[in-house]
Amino acid sequence: MVFHCQASAVTIYISLYASIAFLAFIIIDRYLQDCQTLRSLRLQEVGFARLLSLVVWLLLLLLMVPNMALPIQQVQEQQYLSCSSLKKDLSLQWHTLSIFLCTALFLNASAAVVISSGLALRRLLGSRSDPKLWVNARRATGSVAAVALAYILCFVPYHIVRMPYTLAQNKVITDCQTKRQLFLGKESTLLLTVLHLCFDPLLFFYLYKPFRQTVSNVLSCITNQAAADPEEEQAAEEVMQTMTAAPQEDGV
């Protein structure tokens, strides 16, 4: 229980909000690719992307790592025991602060996703009058809509339940039946978000050709390296046999 509350749960939340932030960046980047303006090209530079990634990881680690390090209290074993019951006042206050700040990150990312997806869909649907353009735009429209829909269905329910559950952890909500229902709702919606994290690579592999090409190139390199290893071993054995056979011939 202590390991889950202090380590594994915190790791899950770091991965969750990193995935939310980077998914929002990907959707925004997809929209900027269609704009092709000077400002959008600057935002798509590799250096700027690395800076954004560094800022996201630093913020999340700054918020979440103290939840691992702050002290906990000893409690008697019970049938229903939550992580908040292990935390001291300072730990619980920091936990609440981190939840509210991560929720703010989610709200900003959601606004970016909705706006970018809406603008991208409007631009793509505007090409229906041209049959040649609509052939390619139709698939792009489906991919944008699928990613945005998966984002909303997987992440929004969890955050709807997360806020009142945090209030219950801080004893603002005291009714036992309500607290139990909030706990079950939080766990079930958290499972949905974790499943989204697991299926993110499959979703990107199916929808985005550059990601698919990158994965294919990596797999082909691994396959070629694995095929080359036996040949290298065989060549090394032949060299060793030649070297051992030469002294024997000299002796004869």
Contact criterion met (CB below 8 Å) for 56 and 20? no
Q: Is the pLDDT of residue 237 over 70?
A: no
Q: Average pLDDT of the chain?
A: 77
pTM over the 0.85 mark: no
Q: Is the pLDDT of residue 50 over 70?
A: yes
Contact criterion met (CB below 8 Å) for 189 and 144? no
Q: Is the pLDDT of residue 188 over 70?
A: yes
Say which range, 11-25, 45-59, 174-188, 198-212, has the weakest mean pLDDT.
198-212
Tokens of 137: 């735009």
Percent of the chain with pLDDT over 90: 11
pLDDT, mean of residues 71-86: 67
For residue 208, which phi and psi values (nearest 5 degrees)? -115, 120
Cβ neighbours of residue 203 under 8 Å, at least 6 residues apart?
A: 146, 147, 150
Q: Report the pLDDT value the prediction gives residue 118, as an integer from 0 to 100.
A: 84
Q: Is the pLDDT of residue 73 over 60?
A: yes
Q: Is the pLDDT of residue 203 over 60?
A: yes
pLDDT tens per residue, range 11-24: 888 888 998 888 88
pLDDT, mean of residues 49-62: 89
pLDDT tens per residue, range 130-180: 777 666 677 777 777 878 888 888 889 999 999 888 888 888 888 888 888
pLDDT tens per residue, range 111-127: 988 888 888 778 777 77
Q: Report the pLDDT value the prediction gives residue 248, as an integer from 0 to 100.
A: 45
Contact criterion met (CB below 8 Å) for 15 and 195? no
Sign of the dihedral defined by the CA atoms of residues 174, 178, 184, 189, in that order:
negative
Burial class (CB in 10 A: 0-12, 13-18, 19+), 40: middle
CATH number of 2-205: 1.20.1070.10
In the chain, where are the structural domains located?
2-205, 208-252
d(CA 246, CA 143): 65
Q: Report the pLDDT value the prediction gives residue 60, as an integer from 0 to 100.
A: 92
Give the angle subtended at the CA of 112 by the CAs of 109 and 116, to the nearest 5°: 145
